[in-house]
Amino acid sequence: MTDTAAPVVFVLNGPNLNLLGMREPEIYGHDTLDDIAGRLEDRAQDLGLSVDVRQSNHEGHLVDWLHEAQAVGARAVLLNAGAYTHTSVALHDAIKGIKTPVIEVHLSNPHKREEFRHRSYVGMAAKATVAGFGAASYLVALDAVLHL
């Protein structure tokens, strides 16, 4: 069980990440988001943290959750904004608008992919980026929270 007294890290996931495990597995792997959430919960416990893992296909939900992270005093946010990474000025502004540190996370390495993935509005505002380790990107980012 996750220790609810432990500092919370929000793990926010954007569009199409609910399809992980079935979606282009040659790029994103076979783990589902639930698999990743389970691993994050275990790792968080080892680190003395807790995680609150969420997913939405709607940009505004992600904006609201970034605001909520600050309101509840979250230690950090891990944000995989999916395709909104490359389009969303609203997410860029939300990250800049809160004091809670945000770490951008990607399973794939967008810089090795199509040119339209090379620009990240999230990365331009985030504290740091972890990308290219598959599902392990989330775990590397969670470990990094202790170094913030």
Residue 43 sits in the site that holds ligand DQA (CB under 6 A): no
Strand partners, 52: 10
Cα dist from 107 to 8, 103, 148, whole Å: 22, 13, 21
The tokens for 119 are 């620009």
Residue 56 sits in the site that holds ligand DQA (CB under 6 A): no
- Count of residues near ligand DQA by CB under 6 A: 10
**Among 2, 32, 70, 108, interactor with ligand DQA by CB under 6 A:** 108
How many helices (H) does the chain have, and how many strands (E)?
Answer: 5, 5
In the complex, what is the shortest distance from the CB of residue 63 to ligand DQA, in angstroms, rounded to a whole number? Answer: 17
The tokens 């392990």 sit on which residue? 136
The tokens for 47 are 């680190």
The tokens for 18 are 């609910």
In the complex, what is the shortest distance from the CB of residue 116 to ligand DQA, in angstroms, rounded to a whole number? Answer: 8
Residue 61 sits in the site that holds ligand DQA (CB under 6 A): no
In the complex, what is the shortest distance from the CB of residue 53 to ligand DQA, in angstroms, rounded to a whole number? Answer: 14
Residue 106 sits in the site that holds ligand DQA (CB under 6 A): yes
CA distance linking residue 42 with residue 44, whole number of Å: 5
Q: Give me the residues that bind ligand DQA (CB under 6 A), please.
A: 16, 80, 82-83, 85, 106-108, 110, 117
